[in-house]
Amino acid sequence: MRVYNFSAGPAMLPTPVMERAQQEFCNYRGTGCGIMELTHRGKHFEEVIDRAEKNVRKLMGISDNYAVLFLQGGASMQFSMVPMNIMLPGGFAEYADTGTWSSKAIKEAKNFGTVKVIASSKDIKYTKIPDIRHWKPSKDASYLHITSNNTIYGTQYHSFPDVEVPLVSDMSSDIMSKVIDVNKFGLIYAGAQKNLGPSGVTLVIIRKDLLKRTPETVPTMLRYSTHADEQSMFNTPPTFSVYMLALVTDWLLEIGGLSVMEEINNSKSEALYETIDSSNGFYKNPNDPASRSKMNVVFRLPSEELEDKFVKEATAEGMIGLKGHRSAGGIRASIYNAMPLAGVERLIDFMQEFQKING
Ligand SMILES: *Cc1c(COP(=O)(O)O)cnc(C)c1O
Q: Look at residue 244 in the predicted model and tell me its pLDDT.
A: 98
Please give the backbone phi and psi of residue 333, each rounded to the nearest 5 degrees, phi first. -105, 110
Q: Which residues contact 69 (CB under 8 A, 6 or more apart)?
A: 203, 204, 205, 206, 224, 227, 228, 232
Residue nearest to atom 12 of ligand 1 (CA): 172
| pLDDT classification of 327: cutoffs 50, 70, 90 | confident
Q: Is the dihedral of CA 89, 92, 98, 103 positive or negative?
A: positive
Containing 297, the helix (H) or strand (E) segment is: strand 296-299
C-alpha 141 – ligand 1 centre gap (Å): 24
Any domain includes 343: yes
194 is catalytic: yes
Any domain includes 2: no
User: Residues 22, 166: one domain?
Assistant: yes
Q: Look at residue 304 in the predicted model and tell me its pLDDT.
A: 96
Question: Residue 77 CA: which ligand 1 atom is closest?
Answer: 9
Domain boundary (233, 254, 275) is at 254
User: Residues 59, 171: one domain?
Assistant: yes
35-73 b/e with 16+ CB inside 10 Å = b?
beebebeeebbeebbebbbebbbebbebeeebbbbbbbb
C-alpha 300 – ligand 1 centre gap (Å): 23
Mapped onto helix, strand or coil, the DSSP state of residue 100 is: helix
User: Residues 207, 65: one domain?
Assistant: yes
User: How far apart are alpha carbons 30 and 16 in whole angstroms?
Assistant: 20
Q: Give the number of other CB atoms < 10 A from CB of residue 310.
A: 22
Residue nearest to atom 3 of ligand 1 (CA): 75
Residue nearest to atom 4 of ligand 1 (CA): 75
Any domain includes 1: no
50 is catalytic: no
Any domain includes 341: yes
Any domain includes 79: yes
Any domain includes 249: yes
Closest CA to 78 of 108, 120, 116, 119: 108
User: Residues 294, 211: one domain?
Assistant: no
pTM metric for this prediction: 0.98
Q: Residues 123-148: pLDDT tens digits?
A: 999 999 999 999 999 999 999 999 99
Q: Look at residue 23 in the predicted model and tell me its pLDDT.
A: 97
Say which CATH number the domain at 291 has: 3.90.1150.10
Any domain includes 5: no
User: Residues 177, 200: one domain?
Assistant: yes
User: Residues 118, 206: one domain?
Assistant: yes
User: Residues 187, 330: one domain?
Assistant: no
Q: Residues 251-283: pLDDT tens digits?
A: 999 999 999 999 999 999 999 999 999 999 999
Name 114's bridge partners. 92
User: Residues 216, 260: one domain?
Assistant: no
Range of the domain at 122: 15-254
User: Residues 26, 141: one domain?
Assistant: yes
Any domain includes 6: no
Say which CATH number the domain at 135 has: 3.40.640.10
User: Residues 325, 286: one domain?
Assistant: yes
Number of domains, the chain: 2
User: Residues 233, 208: one domain?
Assistant: yes
Q: Give the number of other CB atoms < 10 A from CB of residue 127.
A: 15
User: Residues 182, 324: one domain?
Assistant: no
Q: Look at residue 58 in the predicted model and tell me its pLDDT.
A: 98
- Of 359 and 206, the structure prediction assigns the larger pLDDT to 206
Residues with CB under 6 A from ligand 1: 9, 74-76, 101, 147, 151, 170, 172-173, 191, 194
97 is catalytic: no
Q: Residues 58-91: pLDDT tens digits?
A: 999 999 999 999 999 999 999 999 999 999 999 9
C-alpha 21 – ligand 1 centre gap (Å): 24
